[in-house]
């Protein structure tokens, strides 16, 4: 069984504690439980992580590249948080490893401030998902399964 690595960037540990009108009421632990169920349903193991540190996210993408090359990883689902809009380092890590990566946002970033409209991740992502709330995580896992099966 292959693993799906889900990486959450800065401040996503605050989910469910503030701004419920933007991000919903579920906590990051609730999102992990939702992802667990979606991985079970799609035949994946789940590895779910969060970091507030750009370098740690870079290291985890490198690790993912090695795991994908070894055949143990289906792909990465990355909610890079605010680093989406600032991080050349994440762009370089994703491009450099060639890892299969889905960019995910809980909110519809295009309906928000102009500074959220640009992403350094999108050009090196296999797919991009935003605006589905935390259910987007389950949809992205199903999308990765469809890609693996060759139907997406």
Residues at the contact surface with ligand CA2, assessed by CB under 6 A: 11-12, 14-15, 17-19, 23, 79, 81-82, 84, 105-107, 109, 116
**What's the rounded Cα separation, in Å, for the pair 100 and 4?**
10
23 a catalytic residue: yes
Which residues neighbour 149 within 8 Å (Cβ) at sequence distance 6 or greater? Answer: none
Q: Report the nearest approach of ligand CA2 to the CB of residue 8 (Å).
A: 9
* The one catalytic residue among 23, 83, 120, 137: 23
Q: Which is nearer to ligand CA2, 19 or 59 (CB)?
A: 19
**What's the rounded Cα separation, in Å, for the pair 106 and 31?**
11
Which residues neighbour 145 within 8 Å (Cβ) at sequence distance 6 or greater? Answer: 42, 43, 44, 74
* The one catalytic residue among 83, 105, 120, 137: 105
Residue appearing with tokens 């199903």? 142
83 a catalytic residue: no
Q: Which is nearer to ligand CA2, 82 or 89 (CB)?
A: 82
Q: Which residues are part of the catalytic machinery? A: 23, 105
């Amino acid at each position: 069984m292959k693993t799906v690595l889900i990486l959450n960037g800065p401040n996503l540990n605050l989910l469910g504690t503030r701004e419920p009108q933007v991000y919903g009421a579920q906590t990051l632990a609730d999102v992990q439980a939702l992802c667990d169920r979606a991985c079970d349903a799609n035949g994946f193991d789940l590895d779910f992580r969060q970091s507030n540190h750009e370098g740690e996210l870079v290291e985890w993408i490198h690790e993912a590249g090695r795991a994908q090359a070894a055949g143990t990883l289906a792909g990465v689902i990355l909610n890079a948080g605010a680093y989406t809009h600032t991080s050349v380092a994440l762009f370089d890590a994703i491009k450099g490893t060639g890892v299969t990566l889905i960019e995910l946002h809980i909110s519809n970033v295009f309906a928000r401030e102009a500074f959220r409209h640009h992403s350094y991740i999108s050009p090196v992502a296999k797919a991009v998902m935003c605006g589905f709330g935390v259910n987007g995580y389950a949809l992205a896992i199903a999308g990765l399964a469809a890609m693996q099966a060759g139907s997406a």
